[in-house]
Amino acid sequence: MKKRLLSLFAVFMTFTLILSACSGGGEKSSSSESKNSEKNPVEGRDNELVIGVSGDPQNWDPIDTFLLDWSTIGTSVFEGLVDRNLDLEIQPGLAESWEYLDDKTLQFKLRQGVTFHNGEPFNAEAVKFTFDRLLGEEGQKGPQYSNYTSIDSVEVVDEFTVNMKLKSQDPVLLTKLAGYGAVIVPPKYIAEKGDEHFNNNPVGTGPFKMTGYKRDQEVVLEKNPEYWKEGLPKLDKVVFKVIPEASTRLAELQTGKIDVMKRVEVAQADTVKESGFLELQEVGTPTAFSLRFDTAKMPLDQKEVRQAINYAVDKEAIINEILGGYGKPISTFQSELSFGNNPDLEPYPYDPEKAKELLKEAGVSEGTELDLFIPGNDGNFKEIAQIVSFYLEEVGLKVNINSVDNTTLISDLIPNGNAGHMYRQGWGGWTLDFDNTAYLMYHEGEQWNPSFKDEKVEELLAAQRATVDQEEREKIFKELTEVLYDQAPELNLYSAVDLYAVNKRVQNFQPPHEDRMRLEEVTVK
């Protein structure tokens, strides 16, 4: 069997090399002199940056989305009371300062002299409107609401002071407020134009304003001349080109049509490195990838079957051979950057014989079929799905791989329990605290948890939210991770290392840990 696995990896690596060569647009020179003399093809863009991204979130209203593709662009348009910089440090945003007046009252002193892109003033009324909307009927329809349920109300103290009244203590409230669900929106603009108009014509206080949007094609941002940070942004214009296929994004980068490529695939890394005018940048992320199980579907309703699948797959081989080492093993659905990660838990070892034993104990017959759903535009994961399929075939399970549009998968199939027996789930872990991931993935009734439920998990989720004592929370998370490890609601694969390709004309670009590009300091030459 080992020979068969090595043979399969050899086939995939050959395919990867072919892909890389094709993406490179032909034969590559090994001469450093040739590389250095390679002409940069970008012409006529002056103080403009063009970025190639893989997806369009379809909706720019911050309360209606939870997609990283939204945050990549939306971070330049909107701002929250609290900010988090590229080094993941919490800092003031639209609020200059904050303090707890008591256990359940958080007071914010707001920044003065800030205006929305439409000229509307930012003030306490805008903050109250934002949270009334987020926590009200409109917000409750969307995926952001559950992150902010600890907030009871926002009260205006004066024009530039608000009190946030809490229903209960929330140990990760400030980092949530630095997220994109709680960015501040303009009350008069939304009242006049309506929610539907706002979906496609967003207005915020950020360094760039959105001046053009063609769904699934491009987003145009232009410099906000009234931005409150003096001298910023430095670019006049940023255009995001929506290019789902990685091979096409790379071709556009090589011909100078885009300056930055998001989501470079491992097979393309060497091509970028070999270019004289491109640079490959990598960054560790809190994003975790798994194959989530629909525990309502037989035979995955049995814990033993879920554990068997975990034993059946060699995650280390996938990271090393398919991802080229650009990934880190995980034992639960979080990265090592997450508060709550349990370093004492080792990932399930590769043990196909143990997997067969568990399947036999569970009464699963040879040849049982499982449907796996993956996004069609993720080339890396297509290879991973094929490898997982092979591993499961080795223990007697047959996997049917279904490729679908990523937005459809996340927004429709998964929430409605129509994504097969298992499906690819990538989770950004944007709070850097396991609370957000664990609550939205395992709490009964959440949008992205169509079926999993466990009484002990519910008890522990509630307990960690009931205290702000970080040592106590750490103990609770340790127990929670142990329960989840045993219940195995997913096949945990790896936490991501993201790759970006950047034209050398671009200066001061720092790849973000959590997809949220910060472009106000970026320049081009």
Asked if 375 and 424 touch (Cβ cutoff 8 Å), the reply is yes
Asked if 54 and 263 touch (Cβ cutoff 8 Å), the reply is yes
Per DSSP, the three-state class of 121 is: strand
* pLDDT value of residue 32: 53
Domain co-membership, 379 together with 514: no
> Average pLDDT, whole number, for the chain?
92
**Beta pairing partners, 423:** 292, 373
Instruction: Tell me: pLDDT of 100 over 80.
Output: yes
Domain co-membership, 294 together with 355: yes
* pLDDT value of residue 35: 65
Rounded to whole angstroms, how far apart are CA atoms 350 and 333? 18
Sheet containing 105-110, strands listed edge to edge, beginning at the edge strand earlier in sequence? 95-102, 105-110, 161-166, 151-158
Which residue type does 480 have? L
Instruction: Tell me: pLDDT of 36 over 70.
Output: no
Domain co-membership, 160 together with 123: yes
* pLDDT value of residue 99: 97
- Asked whether residue 199 is assigned to any structural domain, the reply reads no
Per DSSP, the three-state class of 352 is: helix
Give the number of other Cβ atoms within 10 Å of residue 14's Cβ: 10
Domain co-membership, 238 together with 341: no
Lowest mean pLDDT among 11-20, 76-85, 315-324: 11-20
Domain co-membership, 524 together with 385: no
- Asked whether residue 356 is assigned to any structural domain, the reply reads yes
Angle at 96 between CA 60 and CA 205, to 5 degrees: 25
- Asked whether residue 197 is assigned to any structural domain, the reply reads no
* 119-174 residue pLDDT tens: 999 999 999 999 999 999 999 999 899 889 999 999 999 999 999 999 988 889 99
- Asked whether residue 198 is assigned to any structural domain, the reply reads no
* pLDDT value of residue 34: 56
Instruction: Tell me: pLDDT of 31 over 90.
Output: no
Instruction: Tell me: pLDDT of 16 over 80.
Output: no
Which DSSP symbol is given to 322?
I
- Asked whether residue 200 is assigned to any structural domain, the reply reads no
How many separate domains does the chain show?
A: 3
Domain co-membership, 61 together with 87: no
CATH number, domain containing residue 18: 3.40.190.10
Maximum average pLDDT range among 320-329, 376-385, 479-488:
479-488
Rg over alpha carbons for the chain, rounded to the nearest Å, is 24
Domain co-membership, 356 together with 475: yes
Asked if 50 and 249 touch (Cβ cutoff 8 Å), the reply is no
CA dihedral angle for residue 424, residue 429, residue 433, residue 434, rounded to 10 degrees: -10
Instruction: Give the domain-ending residue among 161, 191, 221.
Output: 191
Model confidence at 431, in pLDDT bands (50, 70, 90)? confident
* pLDDT value of residue 20: 41
**Beta pairing partners, 98:** 108
CATH number, domain containing residue 87: 3.90.76.10
* pLDDT value of residue 116: 98
Domain co-membership, 240 together with 337: no
Determine the average pLDDT of the residues in 181-203: 97
Asked if 221 and 73 touch (Cβ cutoff 8 Å), the reply is yes
Instruction: Tell me: pLDDT of 352 over 70.
Output: yes
User: Domain range holding 234?
Assistant: 1-76+206-277+504-525
- Asked whether residue 363 is assigned to any structural domain, the reply reads yes
H runs (alpha helix) in 409-469: 434-442, 455-465
Instruction: Tell me: pLDDT of 197 over 70.
Output: yes
Token pair of 301 as six digits: 């309703």
CATH number, domain containing residue 435: 3.10.105.10
Lowest mean pLDDT among 166-170, 242-246, 390-394: 166-170
Give the number of other Cβ atoms within 10 Å of residue 36's Cβ: 9
Domain co-membership, 39 together with 136: no
Domain co-membership, 9 together with 135: no
* pLDDT value of residue 33: 54
* 285-315 residue pLDDT tens: 999 999 999 999 999 999 999 999 999 999 9
Determine the average pLDDT of the residues in 426-437: 89
Give the number of other Cβ atoms within 10 Å of residue 392's Cβ: 24
Instruction: Tell me: pLDDT of 373 over 80.
Output: yes
Lowest mean pLDDT among 34-48, 264-278, 383-397, 468-482: 34-48
Instruction: Give the domain-ending residue among 166, 191, 216.
Output: 191
Domain co-membership, 184 together with 133: yes
Domain co-membership, 288 together with 264: no
- Asked whether residue 352 is assigned to any structural domain, the reply reads yes
Q: What percent of the chain has pLDDT over 70?
A: 93
The pTM for the full model equals: 0.76
Angle at 251 between CA 246 and CA 257, to 5 degrees: 110
Sign of the dihedral through C-alpha 239, 272, 319, 423: positive
Nearest to 60 by CA among 196, 236, 237: 196
- Asked whether residue 342 is assigned to any structural domain, the reply reads yes
Determine the average pLDDT of the residues in 446-466: 94
Instruction: Tell me: pLDDT of 12 over 90.
Output: no
Determine the average pLDDT of the residues in 495-524: 96
